[in-house]
């Protein structure tokens, strides 16, 4: 028997998760707590990189004046390659609270993360406000977070990028798409990655794309809300940040306010 949801405010909803394969558990737990069910629709899986070049690139990034991690998978991949240790003079930054927590679990203390947990919020931190002539290590993956790298280079930083993992596309099978189409409404679509949304839309059949656009988007930032709007979604709510609880709380705003 399954335990009854603690707060069944979202009973009857399906949460469509665009998280990477194997990374749906946090969103699934929060959805279940609120009475919703989760349907995994992963656009990719995470694969760690490991060769002499990436190990050398990572060591150089970790020796920078400021070290920036863009995601929990970046922390997992980097720590599998090299023990993470912060020097006294270094600043260690994370895009959001989840990434900061991942760094703390591997022994990094004093990690700073912005209140606004996105690229723009990260770039507004004091540690990145005057980086001309300073080295900044960016531990990330190819694609995504391009705003950060471009802004740092334009600001004059000595950018040391280490792409420690990669996203391997996982187009859904026709059977998976048919299962998606069979789900009853209403749907919720938490959105914390623009690349995940674009890859998902490109991989779906026209009828599945049209159906997905009927979902209520729970966007982790204003930029992602705009991206969803440009992609044809009409029902959009903006969350405080990309954490599962924050994303799903955006779906509750209307009913809790009434």
The domain ranges of the chain are 8-43+170-215+241-257, 47-167
Tens-place pLDDT, residues 64-98? 999 999 999 999 999 999 999 999 889 999 998 88
Containing 237, the helix (H) or strand (E) segment is strand 236-238
Tens-place pLDDT, residues 189-225? 999 989 999 999 999 999 999 999 999 999 988 889 9
For residue 132, the tally of other CB atoms under 10 A from its CB is 8
Torsion, Cα 114 117 122 123, to 10 degrees, reads -120
Helices and strands (H and E) in the chain: how many: 11, 11
Cis peptide before 217 (omega within 30 of 0): no
DSSP letter, residue 8: G
Structural class in CATH, domain 8-43+170-215+241-257: alpha beta
Tell me how many degrees the CA angle 180-3-250 measures, rounded to the nearest 5. Answer: 55
Query: Which of helix, strand or coil describes residue 245?
Result: helix
Tens-place pLDDT, residues 30-40? 999 999 999 99
Judge if 8-43+170-215+241-257 and 47-167 fold alike in CATH terms: yes
Query: Which of helix, strand or coil describes residue 4?
Result: coil
Give the whole-angstrom CA distance, residue 47 versus residue 254. 39
Average pLDDT score over the chain: 92
Within 8 A by CB and 6+ apart from 54, the residues are 81, 162, 163, 164
pTM score, whole prediction: 0.86
In order, the DSSP letters of 112-148 are B--SS-SHHHHHTSGGGTS-TT-EEEEEE-SSS-HHH
Give the whole-angstrom CA distance, residue 83 versus residue 65. 17
Tens-place pLDDT, residues 144-162? 657 899 999 999 999 999 9
Topology of domain 47-167 in CATH is Rossmann fold (3.40.50)
């Amino acid at each position: 028997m399954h335990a009854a949801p603690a707060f069944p405010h979202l009973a009857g909803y399906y949460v469509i998760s665009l998280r990477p394969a194997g990374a749906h558990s946090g969103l699934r737990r929060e959805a279940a707590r609120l009475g919703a069910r989760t349907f995994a629709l992963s656009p990719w899986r995470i694969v760690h990189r490991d060769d002499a070049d990436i190990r050398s690139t990572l060591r150089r990034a970790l020796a920078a004046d400021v070290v920036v991690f863009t995601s929990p998978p970046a922390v997992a991949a980097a720590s599998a390659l090299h023990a993470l240790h912060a020097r006294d003079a270094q600043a260690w930054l994370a895009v959001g609270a989840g990434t900061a927590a991942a760094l703390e679990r591997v022994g990094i203390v004093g990690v700073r993360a912005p209140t606004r947990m996105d690229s723009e919020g990260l770039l507004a931190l004091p540690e990145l406000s005057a980086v001309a002539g300073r080295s900044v290590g960016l531990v990330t993956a190819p694609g995504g977070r391009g705003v950060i790298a471009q802004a740092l280079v334009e600001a004059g930083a000595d950018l040391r990028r280490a792409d420690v993992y990669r996203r391997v596309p996982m187009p859904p099978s026709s059977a998976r798409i048919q299962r998606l189409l069979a789900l009853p409404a209403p749907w919720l679509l938490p959105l914390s990655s623009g690349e995940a949304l674009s890859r998902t839309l490109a991989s779906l059949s026209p009828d599945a794309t049209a159906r997905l656009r009927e979902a209520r988007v729970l966007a982790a930032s204003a930029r992602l809300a705009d991206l969803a709007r440009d992609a044809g979604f009409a029902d959009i709510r903006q969350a405080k940040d990309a954490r599962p609880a924050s994303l799903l709380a955006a779906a509750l705003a209307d009913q809790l306010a009434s």
